[in-house]
């Protein structure tokens, strides 16, 4: 198990403030955060490249906070694969195997096995300068897996790849996950996180604001930032006021009032709502709860449908999935009604 | 680049002329010296045992000095490339010191350390290593004035090796020494090699510091000086031409090595 306790560090604009989390052995832990939040600094601290200003790191109960990086047994793949340019792919993969009491044959066999696993067995005699970005990244993975690290650190390994290369790398990462290796994977892409993580940690302004399974984090965001980051398109600041009965409460944002389902007590906070939970119609919907008239101000095509921004006093984003039967053809300026169920909205208390 | 030559800028024309003056300044004396030397004299000098001994002595003392000091200079250059520490600029200035001080003064300073009356010189003399008036002294004098070339070239070479390779190697469990030997050194090798050749070539041509420490046995620059003093220009010239030829050959090799410098990034 990897335990990170109260890690703090400031490097230029990046500041980590008392970051703590645990990663169980065999867990695929995705550290999610926007660019510039200090994810890579945290990764460098874990790898031993950069010392932490404060805090401790324990790997299987051993304090490795000050251990030199070569003794940490945590191999790292960074955005840049950093393959050694003067060595062939085979020698790159074998690099960490020398000095481990392995015979030449064992080394050759292990290199071949890992190259096959990484889909790089046809590249063994090539030099890194001749590889594509995806090939280089897969070789870098094989090189790290060769040393059988206790923990694999991945810093945005997919960010520089596109299309097919990204898919191939992702499939390799899933293979690694199935092997039961402990992985810490840093990314700013929440879809990448959903597809790989067994646990997700979200870094916001240098702090770990939420840790949990992807389902917990994406369904029950603990801060407005987490909500926006994980696809809640609507986020309203306001005040939860009086109890509307049946576990429902009234939330007032600017001049608009919503009824939402929450157990929280009155106070200021945010209501977050997914675009796909908001329905649109030309006429007033029969169930009056949270039905608001407004004007279409913008239509934004998205992969999963059209995002419609409606001004109801506050701007509400609704997602109209492609090909939904009877969906109204809308243009900016159209008068429409938006509606959502009280249970679809989530209140996040300040 | 070629575009610039299609419509020559007046300034470029003037600068080209000025460049020509510099080239002429360098080449004219050398070419003139070569033309003034009859081939027969050159052949006689090349066959002269004293001359041959002297050239050989010059070549090996400079090479030995270079290789011995490289053991310290290359790791030192790595530190200078990788670390930032207080007084680093001062240390860099110290490294360049031998280039800026008069070499005769350097010779006098070395004599103070190497003479039999000094601690080091005395101990070495009793151990059978005669610095003053011996090959070891020549080596030290040559290395003293030429070591900045190796340190600086190697430092540039190490600086050009991206640190991420070293970090990747460390994270794979390699010790810092293994990283230095298998990653940093091979990737900086061209620069180091060109520094070694430069240091060797600079050592070959040293006169001032060597003549203070060891007039005998005579290295070629001292021999040329002696022939000029004793017999005049005509006798010094073939020796000069011959030695300049040897130096040029080494310099050519150095340029060839420096060319196609392996880009660590590739």
- How sure is the predictor about A320, in pLDDT bands with cuts at 50, 70 and 90? confident
In chain B, DSSP finds a helix count (H) and a strand count (E) of 14, 0
Asked if the Cβ–Cβ distance from A95 to B169 is below 8 Å, we say yes
Residue A65 falls in which region: left (phi positive, over 0), alpha (psi -120 to 50) or beta: alpha
Q: Is the pLDDT of residue A118 over 60?
A: yes
Name which of B164, B173, B264 is nearest A80 (Cβ-Cβ): B164
Please give the residue of chain B at the shortest CA–CA distance from A140. Answer: B168
* A148 to chain B: closest CA residue: B172
* DSSP track, A265-293: PSEEEEEEE-GGG-EEESS--SS-TT-EE
From residue A322, how far is each of A232, A278, A303, A326, A330 by CA, in Å? 19, 15, 9, 11, 13
A291 CA to chain B: closest CA distance, Å?
A: 56
Average pLDDT over residues A50-70: 92
Q: Please indicate if any CB of chain A lies within 8 Å of the CB of B177.
A: no
Predicted local distance difference test score (pLDDT) of residue A35? 80
One DSSP character per residue, B58-81 reads HHHHHHHHHHHHHHHHHHHHHHHH
Query: For all residues of chain B together, what is the average pLDDT?
Result: 90
Q: A245: pLDDT confidence band, cut at 50, 70 and 90?
A: low
Of A86, A127, A147, which is closest to B187 when you measure between CB atoms?
A86
Contact B142, B90 (CB under 8 A): no
**Are the C-beta atoms of residues A347 and A240 closer than 8 Å to each other?**
yes
Quick check: A96 and B170 CB within 8 A?
A: no
pLDDT attached to residue A327: 57
Residue of B nearest to A44 (CA): B167
Does residue B265 register a pLDDT over 50? no
Interchain proximity A70–B265, CB inside 8 Å: no
Residue A286 token pair: 């029969």
List residues of A whose CB lies inside 8 A of any B CB.
Answer: 47-49, 68-76, 78, 80, 82, 84-86, 95-96, 99-100, 127-129, 140, 143-144, 146-147, 153
Alpha helix positions (H), chain A: 39-47, 89-94, 104-117, 133-146, 163-179, 190-196, 214-219, 224-229
Domain ranges in chain B are 48-219
pTM equals 0.82
B266–chain A Cβ distance below 8 A for any pair: yes
Of B173, B183, B266, which is closest to A147 when you measure between CB atoms?
Answer: B173
The pLDDT tens digits of the residues spanning A270-296 come to 999 988 899 888 888 887 788 899 999
Task: Using the predicted structure, report yes or no on whether residue B2 has a pLDDT greater than 70.
Answer: no
pLDDT in tens, B157-169: 999 999 999 999 9
Query: What is the reported pLDDT for A323?
Result: 66
Q: Inter-chain contact A47–B262, Cβ cutoff 8 Å?
A: no
What pLDDT sits at residue B262?
Answer: 46
Second CATH level (architecture) for the domain B48-219: Orthogonal Bundle (1.10)
Q: Across residues B131-143, what is the average pLDDT?
A: 92
Q: Is B82 on the interface with A (CB under 8 A)?
A: no
Instruction: Give the tens place of pLDDT for each residue, A187-198.
Output: 988 888 888 999
Chain A residue with minimum CA distance to B187: A86
Q: Does B172 touch chain A (CB under 8 A)?
A: yes
The SS3 assignment for B116 reads coil
List, in order, residues 6 or more apart from B119 with CB less than 8 Å away: none
Contacts of B262 in chain A (CB under 8 A): 86
Residues of A in contact with B169 (CB under 8 A): 84, 95
Q: Could you tell me the pLDDT band of residue B259, with boundaries at 50, 70 and 90?
A: low
Residue closest to A155 by CA, chosen among A77, A67, A248, A68? A77
Distance from CA of B163 to the nearest CA of A (A): 9
Instruction: Say if residue B260's pLDDT is above 70.
Output: no
* Cβ-Cβ contacts under 8 Å, A146 against chain B: 172
């Amino acid at each position: 198990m990897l335990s990170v306790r109260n890690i703090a560090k400031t490097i230029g604009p990046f500041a980590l403030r008392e970051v703590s989390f645990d990663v169980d052995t065999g867990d695929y832990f995705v550290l999610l955060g926007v660019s510039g939040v200090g994810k890579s600094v945290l990764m460098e601290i874990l790898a031993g490249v950069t010392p932490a200003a404060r805090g401790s790191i324990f790997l299987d109960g051993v304090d490795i906070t000050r251990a030199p990086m070569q003794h940490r047994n945590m191999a790292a793949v960074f955005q840049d694969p950093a393959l050694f340019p003067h060595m062939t792919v085979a020698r790159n993969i074998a690099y960490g195997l020398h000095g481990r009491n392995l015979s030449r044959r064992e080394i050759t066999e292990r290199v071949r096995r890992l190259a096959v696993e990484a889909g790089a067995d046809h590249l063994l005699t090539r030099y890194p300068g001749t590889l594509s970005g995806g090939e280089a990244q897969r070789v870098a993975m094989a090189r790290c897996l060769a040393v059988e690290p206790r923990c694999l650190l991945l810093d945005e390994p997919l960010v520089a790849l596109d299309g097919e290369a990204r898919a191939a790398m992702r499939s390799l990462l899933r293979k690694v996950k199935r092997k039961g290796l402990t992985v810490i994977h840093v990314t700013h892409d929440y879809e990448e996180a959903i597809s790989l993580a067994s646990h997700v940690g979200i870094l916001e302004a240098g702090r770990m604001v939420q840790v949990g399974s992807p389902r917990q984090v994406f369904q029950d965001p603990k801060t407005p930032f987490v909500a926006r980051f994980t696809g809640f398109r609507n986020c309203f600041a306001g005040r939860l006021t009086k109890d509307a009965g049946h576990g429902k409460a009234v939330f007032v944002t600017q001049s608009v009032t919503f009824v939402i389902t929450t157990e929280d007590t009155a106070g200021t906070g945010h209501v977050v709502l997914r675009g796909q939970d908001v329905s649109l119609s030309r006429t007033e919907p029969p169930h009056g709860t949270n039905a608001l008239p407004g004007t279409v101000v913008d239509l934004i095509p998205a992969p999963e449908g059209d995002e419609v921004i409606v001004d109801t006093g506050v701007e509400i984003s609704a997602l109209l999935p492609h090909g939904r039967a009877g969906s109204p053809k809308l243009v900016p300026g159209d008068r429409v009604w938006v509606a959502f169920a009280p249970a679809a909205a989530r209140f996040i208390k300040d | 680049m070629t575009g610039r030559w299609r419509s020559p800028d007046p300034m470029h024309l003037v600068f080209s002329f000025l460049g020509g003056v510099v080239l002429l300044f360098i080449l004219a004396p050398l070419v003139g010296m070569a033309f003034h030397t009859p081939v027969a004299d050159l052949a006689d000098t090349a066959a002269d045992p004293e001359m041959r001994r002297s050239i050989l002595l010059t070549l090996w003392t400079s090479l030995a000095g270079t290789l011995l000091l490289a053991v310290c200079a290359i790791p030192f250059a790595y530190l200078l490339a990788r670390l930032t520490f207080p007084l680093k600029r001062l240390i860099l200035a110290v490294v360049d010191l031998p280039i800026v001080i008069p070499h005769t003064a350097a010779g006098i300073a070395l004599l103070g350390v190497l003479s039999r009356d000094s601690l080091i010189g005395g101990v070495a003399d009793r151990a059978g290593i005669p610095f003053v008036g011996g090959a070891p002294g020549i080596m030290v004098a040559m290395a003293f004035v030429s070591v900045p070339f190796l340190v600086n070239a190697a430092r540039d070479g190490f600086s050009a090796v991206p640190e991420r390779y070293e970090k990747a190697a460390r994270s794979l469990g390699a010790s810092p020494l293994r990283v230095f030997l298998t990653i940093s050194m091979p990737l900086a090798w061209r620069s180091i090699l060109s520094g070694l050749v430069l240091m060797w070539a600079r050592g070959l041509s040293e006169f001032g510091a060597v003549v203070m420490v060891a007039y005998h046995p005579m290295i070629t620059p001292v021999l040329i000086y002696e022939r000029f003093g004793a017999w005049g220009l005509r006798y010094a010239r073939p020796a000069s031409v011959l030695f300049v030829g040897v130096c040029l050959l080494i310099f050519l090799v150095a340029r060839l090595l420096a060319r196609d410098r392996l880009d660590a990034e590739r």
